[in-house]
Structure 1
Amino acid sequence: MERNNRKPVVGITQGDGNGIGYEVIIKALSDPRSLESFTPVIYGSSKVFGFYRKLIHNLDQMDTYVIQNASEAKPKRINILNCLPDNVYVEPGQSTPEAARSAITSLERAVADIKKGDIDVLVTAPINKKAMDAEGFGNTGHTEYLQKEFNAEDVLMFMVSESLKISVVTGHVPLKDVPTLVTEDKIVNKLRLMSESLRRDFGVVAPKIAVLGLNPHCGDGGLLGDEELKTIIPAVRRANDEGILAFGPYSPDGYFGLGHYSRFDATLAMYHDQGLAPFKAIAFQDGVNFTAGLPVVRTSPDHGTAFEMAGRDLADPQSMKSAIYTAIDIFRNRIAYDRLQAGKLGK
């Protein structure tokens, strides 16, 4: 069957098995109608799945199928790919080396399968970055790991929802390092990635992107910092010269406080919390973390492991649901966009 005419195969990593990953995955897949539009493959353990399944109340029967390879996945089933040892141990709410190693194994297996084409998109459940680093993961997060795995020159941590799309120039770095890492070239590169992703992944014909300042009040003409004058404004002008509809810089407090973000297709912030704090305040329930710039589609819920509520049937699955369906939408948008571009070249 032609790739875009069949149900997408959605690979879902378990994340940290002691967090809320399994709970939000199970709840997100609990409605059997969801299996009419895609085929899920969970990378983890049928034993751990069963453990969390019993802790969740008011669930109907779930049609699961245990597999050893993604190519064995059955439609209309929740496929569980056993890639962890049979004696895997679960301690809800605890950070353990075993859980970190299991998260790494789950991710590595899923990435290997998406490279082979056995799954169509990748959805990653939350991980404990510190615990994984202690076990030799060697990356500060999913985004950095995937960039290396796919040899991507640059990638974009793109937080998306119905009401707001936002990305950052600098990601998981200490705040003290941000001013030196915010360069004109980096801003322009991020704007290129954003513009291309909005066109190809989200179907925006002529995307308009707002750029935020770094300093309070955008530096007040240099009084509170000169990064806007020396770096950000020149970057916006360079992007404009390339045909990118970038505007700014805007002062973040007024920009979000007055709802100006609704006038743009996306927003580029300078550092992690400048962008993610307002995003989670505005769109936490249905927010999705999407990695733009990769040759494959990867999304994730916009929340963490939430150890404090693990195993207590308290986790809200809405962000996981949004991550799954956003990945499917992007996958289909890319097929349509690429076909359109190929058609134009063929004329």
Structure 2
Amino acid sequence: MNRFVITCGDINGIGPEIVVKSLNWLTFRKNKSKYYFVCPENIFQKIIDQLKPDFDFEITSPNKATDSSSKVSIITLPDCREKTGYPTKSSGLTSFQALQLSYAFLKSKTAEAVITAPVSKTALNMAGIKFPGQTEMFSKWSGSKEFVMTFLSKQLNVALHTIHIPLKNVHKSLNQKELEATINVLISTLNKDLAVKSLRIAILGLNPHAGENGLIGAEEDKIVKPLIRKYSRKIVIDGPFPADAFFAKKLFKKYNFILGMYHDQVLIPFKYINSGFGVN
């Protein structure tokens, strides 16, 4: 039996609602999975007053989670005052507590995987939480120094070399050591997590026109191309590609993963192409 823990996300946003809708769909399929939904009880009660749950559930505390025999267990957090549509200090703290508890479930092997609802970085900051995002939280808690944010879909898979940093700082984070670590994580993900046998990775350039042979920037020639030559002895790895032409020509269809240098470079086309069908 697969066991999943699902966080509520920011309670002032769409998180709790989409979790209940997702659980309705998942449990309708009559799979054998077990679901733990971490959420303040007052928020869960409000949602199910408006949206009928089509699943059996039991409301319980975190320390009694393993005692619950229902398909869906609602793991309660302290009640949180709701202010729909607005980030608040309390909503930021609640979303952080849900994430902390979800990791504790993983560590104790109560659950095997975490599914996170959307959080508000503004609310997290208001609560004094200094992580730039959820990916960085799990990296810190698990002691993983090498990690990559990836987005998967049937249409294409993309990865980010840098995550939540200002655009003006991206070039400072681009060096051979860190880029090599990113590529190694992608290779491991393709081999171990996605069971891909024929690896094909595309790397996008940092600068317009992928640097135009050094005329617009030297990062491609000095950092990216030497690594492509190194890895091309073992796998198919191509680039650096100008991002605009790469997506316009639909070259992404030829590769298992597209590695972008910064957030919007790959997430704009990923979300446009998939129209909501994809997973982070």
Shorter-chain TM-score range: over 0.9
Aligned residues of 2:88 and 2:126 also touching (Cα < 8 A):
no
Aligned pair in 2 of structure 1 residues 73, 251: CA closer, same or farther (>3 Å)?
farther
**Does structure 1 residue 18 correspond to structure 2 residue 6?**
no
**Does structure 1 residue 269 correspond to structure 2 residue 264?**
no
Which residue of 41, 45, 61 corresponds with 1:46?
41
Partner in structure 1 of residue 120 of structure 2: 128
Which residue of 246, 265, 276 corresponds with 2:237?
246
Residue identity opposite 2:101 in structure 1: R
Deviations 1:315-335 (A, max 9, x none): xxxxxxxxxxxxxxxxxxxxx
Partner in structure 1 of residue 148 of structure 2: 156
Partner in structure 2 of residue 29 of structure 1: 23
**Does structure 1 residue 180 correspond to structure 2 residue 165?**
no
1:49-128 counterparts in 2 under 5 A? 49-56=44-51, 59=52, 61-68=54-61, 69-75=64-70, 77-82=71-76, 84-85=77-78, 87-128=79-120
SS of alignment partner, residue 36 of structure 1: coil
Aligned pair in 2 of structure 1 residues 35, 92: CA closer, same or farther (>3 Å)?
farther
| Alpha-carbon shift at residue 36 of structure 1 (Å) | 2.1
Residue identity opposite 2:23 in structure 1: L
| Alpha-carbon shift at residue 60 of structure 1 (Å) | 5.9
Residue identity opposite 1:19 in structure 2: G
Residue identity opposite 1:80 in structure 2: I
Residue identity opposite 2:252 in structure 1: Y
Deviations 1:89-122 (A, max 9, x none): 2221121111111111111111111101011111
SS of alignment partner, residue 5 of structure 2: strand
SS of alignment partner, residue 213 of structure 2: helix
Residue identity opposite 2:57 in structure 1: T
Aligned residues of 2:9 and 2:15 also touching (Cα < 8 A):
yes
Partner in structure 1 of residue 162 of structure 2: 170
Deviations 1:52-74 (A, max 9, x none): 12233xx4643121122331232
Aligned residues of 1:208 and 1:266 also touching (Cα < 8 A):
yes
Aligned residues of 2:260 and 2:266 also touching (Cα < 8 A):
yes
CA distance in 2, matches of 1:81, 1:44: 6
SS of alignment partner, residue 195 of structure 1: helix
CA distance in 1, matches of 2:207, 2:100: 39
Aligned pair in 2 of structure 1 residues 91, 226: CA closer, same or farther (>3 Å)?
same
Aligned residues of 1:191 and 1:244 also touching (Cα < 8 A):
no
SS of alignment partner, residue 285 of structure 1: coil
CA distance in 2, matches of 1:261, 1:41: 36
Aligned residues of 1:43 and 1:110 also touching (Cα < 8 A):
yes
CA distance in 1, matches of 2:13, 2:126: 17
- Unmatched 5+ stretches in structure 2: none
Partner in structure 1 of residue 183 of structure 2: 191
CA distance in 2, matches of 1:20, 1:165: 25
- Unmatched 5+ stretches in structure 1: 1-6, 290-347
| Alpha-carbon shift at residue 222 of structure 1 (Å) | 1.3
CA distance in 1, matches of 2:195, 2:227: 25
* TM-score (normalizing by structure 2): 0.94
Residue identity opposite 1:131 in structure 2: A
| Identity in percent | 29
SS of alignment partner, residue 110 of structure 1: helix
Aligned residues of 1:195 and 1:207 also touching (Cα < 8 A):
yes
Residue identity opposite 1:23 in structure 2: E
| Alpha-carbon shift at residue 275 of structure 1 (Å) | 1.2
CA distance in 2, matches of 1:192, 1:106: 31
| Alpha-carbon shift at residue 33 of structure 1 (Å) | 2.4
CA distance in 2, matches of 1:230, 1:195: 22
CA distance in 2, matches of 1:123, 1:228: 36
**Does structure 1 residue 280 correspond to structure 2 residue 280?**
no
| Alpha-carbon shift at residue 238 of structure 1 (Å) | 2.5
Greater Cα offset, 214-223 or 13-22: 214-223
